[in-house]
Amino acid sequence: MTFHNFFLFRRFNLLLFFYFFTSFIADAQNEIDLSIRQRVSDLMSKMTLEEKIGQMNQYNGFWNVTGPSPAEGNAKEKYDHLAKGWVGSMLNVRGAEEVRAVQKVAVEQSRLGIPLIIGFDLIHGYKTISPIPLAESASWDLDAIKNAASLGAKEAAAAGINWTFAPMVDITRDARWGRVMEGAGEDPYLGSQIASARVKGFQGLDLSSPNTVAACAKHFAAYGFAEAGRDYNTVDIGDNTLHNIVLPPFKAATEAGVKTFMNSFNDLNGIPATADKNLQRNILKGDWGFEGFIVSDWGSLKEMIDHGYAENNHHAGSLGLNAGSDMDMESYIYLTELKSLLKEGEVTMAQINDAVRRILTVKFELGLFEDPYKYCDVEREQSVIGSKEMNEGVLDMARKSMVLLKNDKGILPLKKQAQKIALIGPLAADKNSPLGNWRIAAENNSAVSVLEGLQAYKGNVITHEQGVKLVEAIPAFHEEVQINTTDKCGFKAAIKAAKKADVVVMVLGEYGFQSGEGRSRTKLGLPGFQQELLEAVYKVNPNIVLVLMNGRPLVLNWAEAHLPAILETWHLGTQSGNAIAEVLYGDYNPSGKLPMSFPRSVGQLPLYYNYKSTGRPGADGTDAGSVFWSHYGDEKNTPLYPFGYGLSYTTFEYSNIRLSSNTLDLESSITASVTVSNTGKVKGKEVVQMYIKDHFASTTRPVRELKGFELLSIEPGASVDVQFEISKEDLEFYTEKKIWEAEPGAFTVFIGTNSATKRYAAFTLR
Ligand code: NOJ
């Protein structure tokens, strides 16, 4: 046997082994499913009505609050309820010991000893913090995003957590909304890919492993479309937007096997999402066959009274369960109302049983019945939390998440020797803001600052000045610092330092809690005196690299028009300063691309690349010849930086876009190809993006939609051919008939470096 044949033989054997092994696992998995079903039924046959209702009740922990502080429910009462079997889940209890303590009451003191499922907002890392989700999404690197989720799961699971309230898969088009930091941005295709990667990362291949947690797709649905970007506000969108834009990432999460869903605070077209039967029972549990359970958002059952939709708690309980909300987070309504609602015939026993079955199934799948304390090992907690593996993981993700917005005159990368650098800005030495929002378990001030990151490179002299000071803020919600808005006394020293410097690095943006839940804003410029500081420094030294830290797109017109370099770093997490320094010094070549359009003005919002043409589009959106077209009198229609935009320290050229055929029929596929060349001097990564335009359809269609992307690494001087397969699935949408299908007609494919690319080829679907 030649070496080649031997290799083939071995490969064949390996494949055979793999085939039998995977079918064995699949069989075993089915058996597990069957046995879980049986075990759930057995257990339910022993449960009283109170115990069943108890499983549908979730309490917040005794201290750490991620919503309005509840009026009821002191610690003592909660322990009593745990012992009575009236609580199925707790959130915001964390740490192996704390979790063990509550679990012990549930398991050892309640009649049936049903373990609790412990929920937590593991949004971007537990204690070792990864970049905010919007930043991670800017990497367009699905493997890295999945890995970040699985590392977060491992760290949180070591601290007693077995269920995360993530990923947030809400599509968002409005940067005023503070929670854009928590999602994957404006695009349903990218959002779906990322939703799937995150679910798989959190849940892994085996939910019962001690390193994985159950995931939760939230907020179902349309929470990201809050009117005027004001959090919790009304949502009014039609079926076309709901099905084509909002729902796809939720569907992708379902297909990835997500175990739970959370509904949302908003009302959607007149119905609070918590009571939306069509969404929860018809679409999610019906059409999509979702078998997991739905938890309400914090107090969202009770909030239906404020919405003016429920008359009182009693009514809210009935609305929630009838609509398929299985677990009540912090409203105390199911616990108090379900029994009487059942008696009155307002809800049915079948509905209660269905909810309980769903909840218990996830608990069995997590392996909680085998060992309720499997997440409560203090030694494991100590060795996993903050470990080298965690820090290396978040550093890797941080490098990949940055977006180079501008780099003229080759000011970046910075020279490593003999430079005088003035490092200016309130966020330059801040160790708290880079952690961003939603990092409950992180220690305050635990991030590596930009100052520390730059200081690790010894060759240059660095002078640091805040310019605009940070001030102490409300310590609740970890809000240690804010950017001061009253005092400019730091300007003088900053200007002095800038005058003497070869290069000025200015670190400006939003403090860590300026975006996130309840953090909507009407102004999107640099907050406080930062813009004024930037312009004052520019007057004495225009050689400025602007390093931005923020949780949402900002309006950056002045910076774009005047500064030679802008680097978007978002809130990058624990290893922030190290990652930023590597990029500034060229040890890492940035490759991130924007997951949201950056507006020129707040007045353009909502702003997104996949808009509809309108009947008066103007010539290429810039027609100056007439007033009667869809535009503003005082601003362009286009964004400052489009969706998918981002530069590199090298340059890429696209050429030779071609199709394998100009016609596609419903049963086959065609290939779209393009050649991408690295025309610069260093190796670089490029996200090659493919967009498709459907020219004419039974409902109006977006001007283009992302339908594929490929992250490539290319050596300088090299060229790579990239191919995308296009089949009818890529052309499907929610049609006039209210089903997903592709309609024959003319299409255009665009392939390029961002959503504004003009390079195209055309084909027809027959
Ligand atoms: C309210 C938020 O909307 C939700 O995303 C979060 O998971 C819960 N609070 C629990 O903290």
Q: Please enumerate in sequence order all residues whose Cβ is within 8 A of that of 466, keeping only pairs 6 or more positions apart, or say none.
A: 424, 425, 426, 428, 429, 490, 494
Q: Are strands 470-472 and 481-483 parallel, antiparallel or unpaired?
A: antiparallel
Ligand 1 within 6 A of CB of 303: no
Listed in sequence order, the DSSP H helices in 47-187 are 49-55, 75-84, 96-104, 133-137, 142-157
Structural tokens at position 27: 């069989």
Structural tokens at position 654: 């696209």
Q: Are 671 and 723 in contact (CB under 8 A)?
A: yes
pLDDT at residue number 70: 56
Confidence of residue 471 (pLDDT cuts 50, 70, 90): confident
> Phi/psi at 461 (nearest 5 deg)?
-100, 125
Q: Ligand 1: which of 232, 295, 298, 439 to mutate, most ligand atoms within 8 Å of CB?
A: 298
Structural tokens at position 696: 């004419």
Structural tokens at position 586: 């060229």
* Ligand 1 centroid – CA 708 distance (Å): 32
Q: Which atom of ligand 1 is nearest to the CA of 66?
A: 11
* Ligand 1 centroid – CA 185 distance (Å): 18
Ligand 1 within 6 A of CB of 179: no
pLDDT at residue number 11: 37
Confidence of residue 473 (pLDDT cuts 50, 70, 90): confident
Q: Ligand 1: which of 91, 261, 297 to mutate, most ligand atoms within 8 Å of CB?
A: 297
Q: Is the pLDDT of residue 727 over 60?
A: yes
pLDDT at residue number 370: 96
Of 59-68, 291-300, 538-547, which range is least confident?
59-68
* Ligand 1 centroid – CA 299 distance (Å): 10
CA distance 85 to 226: 38
**H or E element in which residue 381 lies:** helix 378-384
Question: What percentage of the chain reaches a pLDDT higher than 90?
Answer: 89
Structural tokens at position 523: 């102004």
CA distance 665 to 766: 5
Ligand 1 within 6 A of CB of 120: no
What's the DSSP call for residue 311? S
Q: Ligand 1: which residue has its CA nearest to atom 7?
A: 165
Ligand 1 within 6 A of CB of 182: no
* Ligand 1 centroid – CA 588 distance (Å): 35
Structural tokens at position 267: 């009302």
Ligand 1 within 6 A of CB of 64: no
Three-state SS annotation for 651-666: CEEEEEEEECCCEECC
Catalytic residue (choose from 121, 276, 297, 328): 297
Confidence of residue 74 (pLDDT cuts 50, 70, 90): low
What is the Rg, in whole angstroms, of the alpha carbon atoms belonging to the chain?
27
Ligand 1 within 6 A of CB of 165: yes
* Ligand 1 centroid – CA 277 distance (Å): 21
pTM (2 decimals)? 0.95
CA distance 563 to 447: 27
Q: Is the pLDDT of residue 68 over 80?
A: no
For residue range 543-598, list pLDDT tens digits in order.
Answer: 999 999 999 999 999 999 999 999 999 999 999 999 999 999 999 999 999 999 99
pLDDT at residue number 227: 98
Peptide bond into 744 cis (omega under 30): no
* Ligand 1 centroid – CA 520 distance (Å): 16
For residue range 252-271, list pLDDT tens digits in order.
Answer: 999 999 999 999 999 999 99
Ligand 1 within 6 A of CB of 651: no
Structural tokens at position 701: 């269609």
Chain position carrying tokens 């999509």: 288
Confidence of residue 337 (pLDDT cuts 50, 70, 90): very high
pLDDT at residue number 69: 61
Q: Is the pLDDT of residue 763 over 50?
A: yes
DSSP reduced 3-state for 173:
coil
CA distance 539 to 535: 6
Q: Which atom of ligand 1 is nearest to the CA of 219?
A: 5
Structural tokens at position 384: 């996993």
Q: Ligand 1: which residue has its CA nearest to atom 11?
A: 66
For residue range 139-196, list pLDDT tens digits in order.
Answer: 999 999 999 999 999 999 999 999 999 999 999 999 999 999 999 999 999 999 999 9
**H or E element in which residue 669 lies:** strand 669-678
Q: Is the pLDDT of residue 95 over 70?
A: yes
* Ligand 1 centroid – CA 122 distance (Å): 11
For residue range 689-716, list pLDDT tens digits in order.
Answer: 999 999 999 999 999 999 999 999 999 9
For residue range 355-414, list pLDDT tens digits in order.
Answer: 999 999 999 999 999 999 999 999 999 999 999 999 999 999 999 999 999 999 889 999
Structural tokens at position 762: 């055309």
Q: Are strands 117-120 and 89-91 parallel, antiparallel or unpaired?
A: parallel
- What are the beta bridge partners of residue 481? 472
CA distance 331 to 319: 13
pLDDT at residue number 478: 62
Ligand 1 within 6 A of CB of 218: yes
Whether 297 sits among the annotated catalytic residues: the reply is: yes
Ligand 1 within 6 A of CB of 730: no
Q: Ligand 1: which residue has its CA nearest to atom 8?
A: 298
Q: Are strands 403-407 and 565-568 parallel, antiparallel or unpaired?
A: antiparallel
Question: What percentage of the chain reaches a pLDDT higher than 70?
Answer: 93
* Ligand 1 centroid – CA 67 distance (Å): 7
pLDDT, average across residues 656-668 = 96
